[in-house]
Structure 1
Amino acid sequence: MTEAVIVGARAKPKRRRRRFTAGIAGQYLSLVLTVTLTVFPLVWLFLTSIRSSADIFSVPVHIIPETATLIQYVSVFTQYDTLGYVWNTVIVSVATVVLVHLLAIPCAYALSRFRMPGAMLIFGLLLIMRMIPVIALAIPLFAVFAGMGLLDTVWALILAHTAAKLPVAIWLLLGFIQDVPKEIEEAAQSDGAGTVRTLVQIVTPLIAPGVGASAVITFLFTWNDLLLALTLTSSKAAQTLPVGLTNFVSQFGIDWGAMSAAGVLMVIPTLVFVWFAQGLLVKGLTTGAVRG
């Protein structure tokens, strides 16, 4: 009897095989379609960038280029001011990320920790302003920066993007700060730390995942912006790469090869940035999803 019990205890439960149903088939089909629709344009963009101009317009169209060449990438830097566009885009994106979080962290901390009359009303107005389409603010921003003498400068883009991205950053960071135990701050203050020191040395490191997620989102939306850059700049000295791509279209036609090469150059930094920051991004978004 005892031996039978031991044998029964050692017996491993059989795993039930998951039946392949119509619902599961639909999920796989949806996944395949999503990946295809997402990846195929990027693959086609890259394949076009390594074709010769004759190969681009060849009939029938070959999915894989018959002869790979880097002539389009050479053309991007020799016939167009692409390096200047890239440099302006980097300046605007990085400066916006830094400025947004220099303002968003103390703002979110103040809304979370200090009892101010109308604090939540102010926060609600910030979110409402973010819900307004950017195109509705383009003309007012144009008039404001024209009056300030900042039109057609990278500073106009930095300030405009900071104003547009700040509400979302505050909203993201507010939940993280509210989850920081107040006892930690009280312990720091009892040791002589002031409000600023507590925020910088105690609170900010604890909300690093939230700051990382907010920084990635801010960077991506700023890097890919076309509307504000197209509205607030008119010269190559201040234009960013999304606007620079429009210069590949002329009255004589569209330089598809060079435009594709420039598009690849535009995508690469975002992929690299997200690749290195994906840990903070995933941790920040998943942590924020279970707050409260």
Structure 2
Amino acid sequence: MKNEKWTTADIPDLTGKVIIVTGGNSGLGYESVKAFAQNGAEVIMACRSVEKGEVARAEIMKNKPNGKIKIMPLDLMDLSSVRNFTDKFKENYNRLDVLLNNAGIMIPPYGLTKDGFESQIGTNHLGHFALTGLLKDLIVKTPKSRVVSTSSIAHKSGKMGFNNFMFANGNGYTPMKAYGRSKLANLLFIYELQRRFEANNINSIAVAAHPGVSQTNLMRFIEGKFYYRLLKPLSSFFLQSAAMGALPQLRAAVDPNVQGGDYYGPNGFNEMKGSPVKVKSIPASYNTEDAKQLWKLSEKLTDINYNF
């Protein structure tokens, strides 16, 4: 396993497949959209800025991909936007082969989403929880469909803390603490979703992935810090490109050997960079009681019930 060299050349023919990629106009999402479209899929690039989406789409289309790319507006920090997106998607599509919950924000100052959620848990977890729930019927209806969520090495420092889940009024908030919690929540969600698929004999799987340490625009909140400037000359030793960072989630989305509940990441030192292989998340991510509590709380906060 450690010696595998899975690349985009291993992506099967995706003709006829419909794939949604959140945050598809930049970074890991952009690389994922590009790879899916190159191999024949119809890809919905879900992004906050349609203008930025058009620029990204034009760039990908220069390579004359075999598939199509459609841009649809989606702001995960606004549940009304999530509902509008899913309503429009259902008007135009009767299947969904892969939902890639890729979009995210990383270590911003304390802030709130439009619905009053702490911004990182609101964007990285609750927005995607709502999106997946509203698309659940289509996912379940599509044979062998997949839900893939992008987590992070940072989940290892995450703690759920249900008593102060959203750092009310900034109480106890640090950017990294909140980010770690949101990325642990991604894994708790995926593993619980997989358990529910299995319990209901649904022919769909839920899978997670992480990109290692990749150069994307998520870095924007630390690029001005003194330690980043000090370490930047050494960055090639621990940073990899967005194209390499996207490989774990691409593999999770399309490799026929992937199984529900799998978690993919780079095979290098501390999973920071390298080829995508199956990896293990921390024991806390497999805590079924935390997963159920998170699920119940997420349904309450988003007012979206999965009904299984």
TM-score by length of 1: 0.24
Q: State the structure with more CA Rg.
A: 1
TM-score by length of 2: 0.23
Bigger proportion of residues as strand: 2
| Greater relative contact order, per chain length (Cα 8 Å cut-off, separation 6+) | 1
